[in-house]
Every structure is written in C-alpha cells, then in structure tokens.
Amino acid sequence: MAGLIDPIATPALSAALAVWLGQLSALKGAAATTIDAYRRDVARYLGFMVQHRGGVDGLAAVATTSPADLRAWMADERGRGLSARSLARALSAVKGFTAWAADRTGRDATTVLSARGPKFRRKLPRPLSEDGAVAVLSGIGDDAREDWIAARDTAVATVLYGLGLRISEALSLTAADHPLPTTLRITGKGGKTRLVPVIPAAAAAVAAYVTLCPFDLAPAEPLFRGARGGPVNPRLIQSAMERARLRLGLPATATPHALRHSFATHLLSAGGDLRAIQELLGHASLSTTQAYTAVDAARLMEVYQKAHPRA
C-alpha cells in the first residue's frame, strides 16, 4: 500500500497512511473502493502539505495543521478542478486520518476536525415510477441469450427492488441463502449487518433461476453465476438494465441502483416509517434516508401542478 502513496509525501507519512488504511480495512471493514478513495485523497493532502510547508515532521505536525495551511490545501484542490462534493469527501478522509494521528501523538487536532467543508447540493435519488419498476422486472430478461440467464437477471432485479439491496449485496448472496428465508441477514457497507424481510416475489424469482441454472450451486459459492459459471460481474446486470430501459423508453437514470431507490421511495409513498426504511437500507445516518422525503415531496408537487385547475 505504501508504494502507492503520492511520492511527494515522506516515507514516514506514507507508512503511517498505510497503517491507518490497514486498520480501516481490518477493524472497521471499510470497502476496497472506500480505502482506495481515502488513499488518494489523503495522499494528495500529505503531498501538498509537505510541499507547501517545506516539509512535515511526522504525525504530530499532521495533527496540528494551521487554519491557513488547511485553507491553502482546499483552495489548491478547488483550483485543480475538484468539485465541492469531491472536496467534502476528501476533507472527511483527511479528518479521519488526522484524528488517528492526533490520538497516536496526543496532539490537539481541533483545527482540522472542526473545519467545515464546502457546501454543495446533494443529488436526490432518482427512482423509477412504480409502473417503470414493474416493467423492468418483467422485461429485463427479454434480451438474454438463454432462459437461465433471463431468469438470473430477473431474480437479481427482483431482489434489488423487493429487498432494497445494493447490487454488491445481491451478488454476494451464496447458494446457502436459497431458498430465500422470510428474513435475510445482509452484510453491507463497513461490515454492518441488517435483517431484511423477503417478499414472496423475490423468493419465487430466485427459485425459478435456481431451477434453470446449469451449474452446481455449492452452499459456499455465489448464488448468481455468469455464463461460464463464475461470479456475476455487476457490469452484466448493468448492461441488462441498459437494454431494458432503451427498449422500455425509460430514462438513463434507470440503473440497478435506481431499483434500490425505487424500493425506498415507494415504501415511503405507501406510508412507510422513515426509521424503518433507514434500517432496511442499512443507512448509518437518518439524514441519508431523509433524501427520499424530498423525492416524495417533489413527486407530490409535480402531480399537484398537473392536476390543479389553472385560472
């Protein structure tokens, strides 16, 4: 890991960053993509500080970065074209590393930890309509070369929409999960587990796929298989969704993840409790789930404006 750190940073800081990332992965179960993003963000930060300050003497100096130095780094990141959203993510990573450095050195990292990131407008989830979601489930397998692949794509899409899973979570199911129980234990981001009720339609779709699958599904092996019997690449499901949305005339936002958004939005529209939806989605913060209330309100206003008589 240390060999991948920005070469401007010192070997000691590169090694410290590698240790921190290793702990995030081993102790907190951070995903590989998260680790890679943190590595890039913090490496650029450390590289900038070494150059900007003419050297950074170990972790103690990292923990006591001045407000001016921090502002200079953020200005430099914005100057190279980093969006406000990406800079906020980078600052979050820097805060995590700085807190770790402060804990190891006994220094006060208040300057960095209290820094506010740039404001940005959070993107609202883009769910499908209920009719659109049903159309996808009915037609996602229509272009498949073989019946069992059509059944597989239908089963994955039904699990995404019916259980609100991320595609990585759906594709991590093993054959031991079949037949799907009434409640499924899912391991999500950060290694956090949650219990998700299984609707009959999802269990039936998976059962239909298993019946047609030509491969031996050993309990410890992936439930969903590719054409050659290996694990399914997420890109295959994304491609199936692309073909389906083009055929059905759905927007470009009709992706596998949009099925998860649709699950949450449609539950909320039906009167679902926000806290319960947070638990079902595995969101760490309620504020993340609250984005769906904005979607629901926007849809309500759209319907109102279409239906309300104008003078």
- What does the alpha-carbon distance between residue 194 and residue 278 come to, in Å, rounded to a whole number? 10
Tally of residues, the chain: 311
- What does the alpha-carbon distance between residue 112 and residue 74 come to, in Å, rounded to a whole number? 12
Secondary structure of 61-72 in HEC code, one letter for each residue: HHHCCCHHHHHH
Q: Which residues are known to be catalytic?
A: 166, 189, 257, 260, 283, 292
3-state DSSP percent of the chain in helix, strand and coil, to 5: 65, 5, 35
Q: Tell me the H-state helices in 213-290.
A: 234-248, 256-269, 274-281, 286-289
- What does the alpha-carbon distance between residue 246 and residue 243 come to, in Å, rounded to a whole number? 5
- Residues 163 and 198: beta-carbon distance below 8 Å: yes
- What does the alpha-carbon distance between residue 40 and residue 5 come to, in Å, rounded to a whole number? 7
Compute φ and ψ for 14, nearest 5 degrees. Answer: -60, -40
Picking from 194, 198, 177, 178, the residue whose alpha carbon sits closest to that of residue 186 is: 194
